[in-house]
Amino acid sequence: MPDFAFYSTEIDPTTEPGGADPAPETLVVLDQVPILGDARYDLQAGEIGRGSVIPTLGGAGIQDFGVVDGDQRISFSDSNALSAETVADLRTIHETVDGEYFFTDGYDIWRVRFARPGGFRCWRNLFWAAHGAVIYSYEINLIVVASLLRMVADCGLSLEAVSGS
C-alpha cells in the first residue's frame, strides 16, 4: 500500500520520498493511510471558484475567471491513526510560516500549503490514553499550489507531467 507523506521541496518530486536519494530534509509519513474504515480522503474538497454573479435590472452579469491549481483543496482525516511522534512532526510542518511541501498519496504529487486556519487538527483518544496507549485522530486541509505528477493508465502505468502554476 502506498504511503501518504509530506516532504521538503529541495529534492525532486517523487511518489516514494522515503527512498529518495538524496533524502529530503523533512519527511513526515502518516502512520496509517486514510482510505480504510471511517477515514475520509477528498481530492476536491471545496474548490474556490474565481468569478462572481452581479445582479442587474432584469438579469445578471456573470464573470468567470476559470480555475487554477491554487483553487484546489485536499482534505483528509482518520480516527485513531497517528502516533504522538507523527503528530509532533505534523505540528512542526503545519506551524512553519509560509511552509510549502510536496505531498504524495503514492500515486499523485502536489506542492501544497496547510490551510489557515484549520490546516491541521488532532485530538487524542482518551479511552486508549487511560489504558496506556497514546493515539490520535486528525483532520488535514491543504491548499494546492501546483499539481506536479500524476500516475495514468495508458497501456500500463506511466508518469505524466501536469503543468503547475
Query: What's the whole-number average pLDDT of the chain?
Result: 84
Q: Given pLDDT bands bounded at 50, 70 and 90, which one contains residue 67? A: low
pLDDT, residue 70, reads 66
> Residue 20 corresponds to which cell in the numbers above?
529518495
pLDDT, residue 62, reads 83
Mean pLDDT across 137-159: 69
Q: Mind spelling out the 3-state secondary structure of 18-32?
A: HHCCCCCCCEEECCC
Burial class of residue 69, CB neighbours in 10 A (0-12, 13-18, 19+) = middle
Q: Can you give the pTM of this predicted structure?
A: 0.78
**Percent of the chain surpassing pLDDT 70:** 83
Q: In terms of Cα–Cα distance, which of 46, 141, 118, 124 is closest to 79? A: 124
Indicate the domain borders of the chain.
5-49+66-161
pLDDT digits (tens, 9 = 90+) for 29-58: 999 999 887 788 887 776 666 677 888 888
pLDDT digits (tens, 9 = 90+) for 74-86: 999 999 999 999 9
> Residue 70 corresponds to which cell in the numbers above?
491554487
Q: How much is the CA Rg of the chain, to the nearest whole Å?
A: 18
> Residue 153 corresponds to which cell in the numbers above?
493508465
The position carrying cell 491548499 is: 143
Q: Given pLDDT bands bounded at 50, 70 and 90, which one contains residue 159? A: very low
- pLDDT surpasses 60 at 161: no
pLDDT, residue 95, reads 96
Identity of the residue numbered 58: G
Give the bridge partners for 75, in sequence order.
42, 141
Mean pLDDT across 92-113: 95
